[in-house]
Amino acid sequence: MGRLIPDDLRPGEYREHTVTVVGACGAEHTSHVYASGRGPTIRLSTDCGQHIEGTPRHPLLAETQGYLTWRSLASIKVGDGVLVCPKSLPTARKGLGLTVRDIGALEGFRTERPKITDKFEWSTVTRIESSEAETFDFVVPGSHSFIGNGFCNHNTTLGHIIAEEMGASITTSSGPVLDKPADLAGILTKLKEGDVLFIDEMHRLSPLVEEYLYSAMEDYYIDIVIDSGPNARSVKIPLPRFTMVGATTRKGLLTAPLRSRFGIDFRYDYYSAELLQAILIRSANILKVSIEKEGAWEIARRSRGTPRIANRLLRRARDFAQVEGDGRISLKTADRALTALDVDKEGLDEMDTRILLSLIDKFNGGPAGLSTLSVSVGEESGTIEEVYEPYLIQEGYMQRTPRGRIATKRAYQHLNRKIPGEMPMLFDDQNAEQPSE
The predicted-structure confidence for 306-350, as pLDDT tens digits, reads as follows 888 888 888 888 888 888 878 888 888 888 888 888 888 887 888
Taking residues 362-379, report their average pLDDT: 83
Is there a contact between 383 and 377 (Cβ–Cβ < 8 Å)?
Answer: no
CA distances from 378 to 359, 382, 384, 393 (A): 13, 12, 10, 20
Q: What is the pLDDT of residues 237-255, one digit of tens each?
A: 888 888 888 887 777 777 8
What does the pLDDT read at residue 7?
66
Query: What global pTM score does this model have?
Result: 0.52
| CATH code 1.10.10.10 for 350-427 | yes
Lowest mean pLDDT among 12-16, 281-285, 385-389: 12-16
Residues with Cβ within 8 Å of 134's Cβ and at least 6 positions away in sequence, in order, are 11, 35, 37, 38, 39, 95
Choice between 88 and 194, residue whose per-residue pLDDT is larger: 194
Q: Which helix (H) or strand (E) segment is 399 a member of?
A: strand 398-401
Q: What are phi and psi of 214, to 5 degrees?
A: -55, -55
Lowest mean pLDDT among 81-90, 310-319, 409-418: 81-90
The answer, yes or no, to whether residue 191 has pLDDT greater than 50, is yes
21 confidence band (pLDDT: 50, 70, 90): low
Question: CA 339, CA 337: separation in Å to the nearest integer?
Answer: 5
Taking residues 193-207, report their average pLDDT: 81
What does the pLDDT read at residue 108?
35
372 confidence band (pLDDT: 50, 70, 90): confident
What does the pLDDT read at residue 9?
67
421 confidence band (pLDDT: 50, 70, 90): low
The identity of residue 369, as a single letter, is G
Q: What is the pLDDT of residues 44-69, one digit of tens each?
A: 888 877 777 777 777 666 766 555 56
CATH number of 273-340: 1.10.8.60
Choice between 87 and 75, residue whose per-residue pLDDT is larger: 75
The answer, yes or no, to whether residue 351 has pLDDT greater than 80, is yes
Instruction: For residue 210, give the DSSP letter.
Output: H
CATH architecture of 165-260: 3-Layer(aba) Sandwich (3.40)
Exposure string over 239-269, b if 16+ CB within 10 A, otherwise e: beebbbbbbbeeeeebeeebeebeeeeeeee
Choice between 196 and 126, residue whose per-residue pLDDT is larger: 126
What does the pLDDT read at residue 111?
35
Is there a contact between 176 and 206 (Cβ–Cβ < 8 Å)?
Answer: no
What does the pLDDT read at residue 427?
46
Break the chain into its structural domains and give their ranges.
14-149, 165-260, 273-340, 350-427
Mean per-residue pLDDT over the chain, rounded: 72
134: closest CA among 146, 145, 149, 152?
Answer: 149
Lowest mean pLDDT among 8-17, 53-62, 425-434: 425-434
146 confidence band (pLDDT: 50, 70, 90): very low
The answer, yes or no, to whether residue 19 has pLDDT greater than 70, is no
What does the pLDDT read at residue 11?
66
Query: Candidates 2.170.16.10, 3.90.650.10, 3.40.50.280, 1.10.1740.10; correct CATH number of 14-149?
Result: 2.170.16.10
The answer, yes or no, to whether residue 145 has pLDDT greater than 80, is no
Taking residues 107-135, report their average pLDDT: 61
